[in-house]
Amino acid sequence: MATETLRELYHAELQDLYAAEHQIADALSQLASMATDTDLKTAFEQQLEQRRIHAERLELLFDEYDLAKTGSRSTAIEALTQDANRRVQSMTHADVRDAALIAAAQLLAHYEIAGYGCARTYARQLGLDDAADLLQQTLDDERAADERWTEIATIINGIATPDVMVDESGSSRLRYVGAKYFGRATHEYADHQIRNEAGDDLGRVNGVLVNASGRPYYLVVDSGGLFDGRRYIVPIGKVALNRSTRTFTISFTKETLKRYPEFHRHSFLAMTAEEARLYEERVLEAVDPESAREVPRDWSHDNLPQYREPL
């Protein structure tokens, strides 16, 4: 039957998305069975649960519009799944295979982002604001999922290249990893509290900056109410970890933090190598003015002290 109106196009998009949800669930099950990383397996399981929730939201709209729960199978999803299966079958390195599985999952997420974005817009243009809001919830889920895949990939892609030396792979460039996805590469520092030696609460760990191999160099701290949610970074070598209390101790005072340059994830990642070096020099100078003056201009991250854990 020909599609002649925007409403008919909207209904057809909903039916296609419903079919796609089931196809993607099958695809994610296949990908999950090939994953070896524990965090990655968990992420696949969470996404499978999301598929169920997304399908239920669509069913609410089907009931409202008296639509049949049918739709054409997507040849695009079939092609993406077949390509992922073909690619990973030839991989013997588990971490490389996991990296490829994440790429496949992100391609599926992007398909859904496009589809739900169109359906949401059609609903809004048709004056179906409640339906548009419901579709926006799923669109937000898909965008969050895409970001989660990126965070996990930051770690796994680094682990997948253990034979690449830091100074051969972009040298001083660091990458941000969110607290939820620290996993094996960063000792699971998520949400640890930061205190100084006087016992003052200086915030919580919100993320880390890691090199290409997943090795952490800075903790990213959300100061919370201390400075209106401002974030800052702390060199790993300047903290002491108490695992039993999930607390890091640093020798900073609140006055020290007032000198600190603020950290913005996207701004930092957009910096040139020279801008990043100058920013880190400002951080080191705020932490320890004396030692910062001794840091050579061609300093390497490998010269930074490692974190220490008290006995």
AA letter at 154: T
3-state secondary structure of 298: coil
Q: Tell me the domain boundaries of the chain.
A: 6-159, 169-303
Q: Are 106 and 31 in contact (CB under 8 A)?
A: no
Q: Are 119 and 135 in contact (CB under 8 A)?
A: yes
Q: Which of 60, 62, 82 is nearest to 71 (CA)?
A: 62
- The pLDDT value recorded for residue 280 is 83
Helix (H) or strand (E) holding 176: strand 175-178
- The pLDDT value recorded for residue 38 is 78
Please provide residue 91's backbone torsions phi and psi, each rounded to the nearest 5 degrees. -100, 130
Among all chains, which residue has been given the structure tokens 């739709």?
71
Share of the chain above pLDDT 70, in %: 77
For the segment(s) 6-159, the CATH number from 3.40.50.1110, 3.40.50.720, 1.10.10.410, 1.20.1260.10 is 1.20.1260.10
Q: Is pLDDT of 168 > 50?
A: no
3-state secondary structure of 272: coil
- The pLDDT value recorded for residue 132 is 96
Structure tokens at 216: 């952490």
Q: Do domains 6-159 and 169-303 have the same CATH topology?
A: no
Q: pTM higher than 0.85, yes or no?
A: no
Residue 256: Cβ within 10 Å count: 15
Higher-pLDDT residue of 163, 175: 175
> Which parts of the chain fold into alpha helices (H)?
6-34, 38-65, 75-89, 94-125, 129-159, 254-258, 265-270, 273-287, 289-292
Q: Looking at the chain, how many residues does it have?
A: 311
Q: Give per-residue pLDDT as tens, 196-227.
A: 888 888 888 888 887 766 677 888 888 876 65
Q: Which of 54, 28, 56 is nearest to 42 (CA)?
A: 28
Q: Which of 192, 287, 190 is nearest to 249 (CA)?
A: 192
Q: Which residues on neighbouring strands pair with residue 216, listed in sequence order? A: 210
| For residues 232-237, average pLDDT | 84
Q: Which of 150, 157, 169 is nearest to 214 (CA)?
A: 157
Q: Give per-residue pLDDT as tens, 7-57.
A: 999 999 999 999 999 999 999 999 999 888 877 888 899 999 999 999 999
Q: What is the CA radius of gyration of the chain?
A: 23
Q: Looking at the domain 169-303, which fold is it?
A: Photosynthetic Reaction Center; Chain H, domain 2 (3.90.50)
Q: CA–CA separation, 159 vs 201, rounded Å?
A: 33
